[in-house]
Amino acid sequence: MKSRILYLISQLGPGGAERQLYYLLQTLDKERYKPGLVVWNFKRSDFYLSKIQEIGVPLFPLSRGLRHIQKLIELHRLIKFLEAEVVHSYSFYTNFGVWWASLGTQALSFGSVRSSAAAGLLYDGKLLGRLSARWPRVQISNSHRAAGDAKARAGIFSPRKLYVVSNGVDVKQFSFAPVPGTPVKIVGIGSLVSLKRWDLLLLAADQLKRCGFIFHLSIFGEGYLRDSLVQRISALNLADCVELPGFVDDVPKLLAQSHFLVHTSEIEGCPNVVIEAMACGRAVVATDAGDVPFVVEDGKTGFVVRRGDLASLTESMATLMTNRDLCQRMGKAGRLKVEREFSLDRLSANTLGAYRAAGWKDDLATRRAPIPQLTLPTEDL
């Protein structure tokens, strides 16, 4: 067995990185690139396990119960056995592990920066965060903002070269849908954690209700803040117009039933749900976290508001609630932008382009028609 391109991810739960990796594996030519997937913390109940299996990508779960160094040794042996040419960490905290395990093999190693670099250092621990910020020396970010953060941080704990490959979306799955009639339905989608700032959205809902607006807000997702958000909804007397339905798999359906999406996150990379909403023809009200200003054209495909700016958030929501035609126009413009800039073909072509630009000798590319490489912004750090 051989795997030319081997990916490593921490787990296969219902997260943004997992979704993008699934999209990439779905799009890659299996015969040509022979992709494989290593899972650091494997669980048979994980959301994307069956989906990965359905598209025929070999899975290599690392043994449970091993210490970190034992897992690294197991990964090193696996890379040699599979004769991997490229090994790509798809989780920030597994970056250093991919670099270490690739030593002494023929494989080129790649890391990931999928959100604010500073946030990565904070969440993943001082030592592991710094090591994963520096190694592998070549990394791929899904966010121009995160790439800029890495460049600004500089110092020795930064990659030598960083490529930016924006997220993609399956435009066939997230098909365009006309904006429904009244009553106004607003959605928020994401983990119920503090960084998503759902508390700010509840305050906006409170102000809108006090001004006499009639609407229904659904915040889809699970997380440790669920109980406190339920209490907050009750305290603000919003139970009649705000709900927390929990995790929902059929995102295209719930977006199609909505008027617009609100995204209030404090820290982001390139948010999947914003691109998905635009693919469904939905206007977006989003804070200027991560690559939101790059994805959403303010005033054309939605509204971009400053993080923490309750007044602007409330005003933008009110504007869309009172103008269905504007929702429709912004939604159509958003759909066109997604088709033009965030297709799955673009995701795979730019990812492969990054591998080649970093030195991967894809010999098969010389025997067949080369894959067109789209614009690939790069940053030398």
State the pLDDT at residue 73: 97
Output the pLDDT for position 334.
98
With respect to residue 119, please indicate whether it lies within any of the assigned structural domains: yes
> In terms of domains, do 163 and 205 share one?
no
Total tally of structural domains belonging to the chain = 2
Residue 25 lies inside a defined structural domain of this protein: yes
Q: Given a cut of 90, is residue 149 above it in pLDDT?
A: no
pLDDT value, residue 129: 83
* 179 in any annotated domain: no
Determine the Cα–Cα distance for residues 266 and 131; give it in Å rounded to an integer. Answer: 25
Strand, helix or coil for residue 112: strand
The answer on pLDDT for 128 being more than 90 is no
* 335 and 354 together in one domain: no
Q: What is the pLDDT of residues 254-271, one digit of tens each?
A: 999 999 999 999 999 899
Mean pLDDT of 171-176: 90
373 — pLDDT class (breaks 50, 70, 90): very low
Average pLDDT score over residue span 184-199 = 96
Q: Concatenated DSSP letters for 30-57?
A: HHHH-EEEEESS--TT-TTHHHHHHTT-
For residue 238, the enclosing domain spans: 184-341
Say if CB 39 and CB 61 are below 8 A apart. yes
Is the domain of 76 the same as that of 56? Answer: yes
% of the chain residues with pLDDT over 90: 79
Specify if 21 maps to a domain.
Answer: yes
Q: DSSP letters of 62-91?
A: PPTT--HHHHHHHHHHHHHHHT-SEEEE-S
In a domain, 176, yes or no: no
CATH number at residue 351: 3.40.50.2000
* pLDDT tens track for 291-303: 999 999 999 999 9
Helix and strand totals (H; E) in the chain? 16, 14
Q: Are residues 310 and 354 in the same domain?
A: no
Average pLDDT over residues 103-111: 97
Angle at 22 between CA 161 and CA 105, to 5 degrees: 50
Whole-number pLDDT of residue 380: 43
In a domain, 107, yes or no: yes
Same domain, 192 and 225: yes
Same domain, 57 and 71: yes
**157, 239: one domain:** no
336 and 352 inside one domain: no
* Shared-domain flag, residues 230 and 272: yes
pLDDT band at 118 (very low <50, low <70, confident <90, very high): low
In a domain, residue 174? The reply is no
pLDDT at 369 over 70: no
Beta bridge partners of 255: none
**pLDDT surpasses 50 at 377:** no
Residue 375, pLDDT above cutoff 70: no
With cut-offs at 50, 70 and 90, classify the pLDDT of residue 378. very low
What pLDDT was estimated at residue 191? 93
Consecutive H or E run containing 229: helix 226-235
Range name among 10-19, 227-236, 293-302, 326-335 with the lowest pLDDT average:
10-19
Three-state SS at 370 = coil
CA atoms of 343 and 3, how far apart (whole Å): 25
